[in-house]
Amino acid sequence: MQINKNNRNNRLLKELVQHLYGLFSKQQKRGKRYVKQSSKKIITDLKKGKKPTLYTILSIALISIGLFVFSYYQDPYVVDNTIPKKTTLTACKIHSISDGDTVTAHCFYDEKNTRLKVRVWGIDAPETGQKPWGDRSTAYLKSLITNKKDVSVEILDIDRYHRYVAKIYQGEPIEENDLGLKMVEAGQAVVYHQYNSDKLYLATEKTAQNEKIGIWSEPGDQQNPAEWRKLNRR
């Protein structure tokens, strides 16, 4: 009876190790390598009929903890640079904001969680190095995306840095929710005239200039981020 019980325990333990290894094999390379080596040793010991030792139990515990840690910290979103132009993704979340015209969005596309690096279409915000204007622009964009509400991403192009050039809307993809337009309206970005000749954007920028809002409150290179970049190439 004792032998049968030990065999059953060994079989269950072996199945557990194999199951954990199977799960772990989908994780990052470092974790996969560690688990593969540990699992092979445990399974080899079990095949030889050895009783589970303290080493075996601790190994299983470490593998379980490792599985939890890797699963917890693994980014479930994958980069996808194949989304076609004129695609509008809804119910996205803004994951991070780099500056006043560049964000990272998390969206669901083609039955998978997708991470998109997005350059906001039609505007050009002061760079981070243009103190304090770059910081103010970034802070204002963050204020527009409140409480991690859903946004819509309307993809229009892909730039040379492999970022999606897109309009971002707070909620539904309608004009009054256009975050790029709101940035221009608040004087936190200029219209990117090289790529944007939209009359509404131009009129909105003109109003901000006349009312001396944001970057238009005083003369300076914050009113021409593109020229500043040319003069301050890394």
pLDDT in tens, 147-193: 668 999 999 999 988 899 999 999 999 999 999 999 999 999 999 99
Q: Do β-strands 102-109 and 88-99 pair in parallel, antiparallel, or remain unpaired?
A: antiparallel
Residue 42 burial (10 A CB sphere; 0-12, 13-18, 19+): buried
Whole-number pLDDT of residue 163: 93
61: pLDDT strictly greater than 90: no
pLDDT in tens, 192-230: 999 999 999 999 999 999 999 999 999 999 999 999 999
Return the DSSP state at 80.
-
Annotated domain spans of the chain = 2-73, 78-231
Q: What is the pTM of this model?
A: 0.68
Q: What's the sign of the alpha-carbon dihedral 34, 37, 42, 43?
A: positive
Residues facing 155 on adjacent strands = 166
So what CATH class is 78-231?
Answer: mainly beta
CB 89 within 8 A of CB 53: no
